[in-house]
Amino acid sequence: MEDRLDLSGKTVLVTGGGKGVGRGITRRFLEAGADVVICGRNEPEQPVEARGRGALFSAADVREVEQIERLVSFVSERFGRLDVLVNNAGGTPEVDAASASPRFSEAIIRLNLIAPLNLAQKANAIMQKQAEGGVIINIASVSGVRPSPGTAAYGAAKAGLLNLSATLAVEWAPRVRVNAVTAGMIHTEQAALHYGDDEGIAAVAATVPLGRLGLPEDVGDTCVYLASPLASYVSGANILLHGGGERPAFLSAASNPSK
């Protein structure tokens, strides 16, 4: 039987693919047989490998258009094609909206919204010329679909990324499919910065209906599916990858909670 999750012969670009969620995404694509290029401002301390295969690193700051152009050209020239772009690079420090400087807010939106748009444009130009087209996957966040106190510009940018995904799915069809993955709370090497020590992480995980934080590989599994023939009719979609969401606060606050 044909393995429809086998991506052998496909070329994948994962921005920010050397650490955190991006590392999990990269590993899953390597396991699926794809050739993977990752980028970042600095090369990861440990190479990203899976099943004896490794990702190829190319230095790039995705906030800079010229570096995006060089990155996409490098992938195209090295492999002769670009089948999948995963816009994963992003993030933000926590800053109160009342005190965030205009320059800070602009930088956050530039990284989390403008950079994915610029990358998608360059990737689409290649994919439209390929017989099999291509796939673009934007990694969004629950911060874009609920209030995001402490990270207002980030939440706003991720909300914009969802609209961008749906819009590009219409503009660039039928040759290029575009989807978003809205990730919930993910247990990465930086989890302690957001949730505290092991006890804090466990307490936060207990608020998730499935009883745990997500793993980078969970996001990777979803990306591999979206890039595969199994998702050939999936475009303009937003997959909520959050373990069931968050338990409504009123259930705990009510004097006679139903559960």
- Between CA 177 and CA 133 the distance in angstroms is 8
Structure tokens at 130: 């390929």
The residues pairing with 13 across neighbouring beta strands, listed in sequence order, are 37, 85
Q: Which two tokens stand for residue 135?
A: 């796939």
Helix (H) or strand (E) holding 159: helix 152-171
Nearest 5 degrees, angle CA 118-CA 93-CA 158?
Answer: 40
Going by C-alpha positions, the residue among 128, 15, 28 that lies closest to residue 81 is 128
86 and 28 in contact (C-beta within 8 Å)?
A: no
Angle between helices 216-227 and 20-31 (to 10 degrees): 50
Residues with a catalytic annotation lie at 154
DSSP state of 190: T
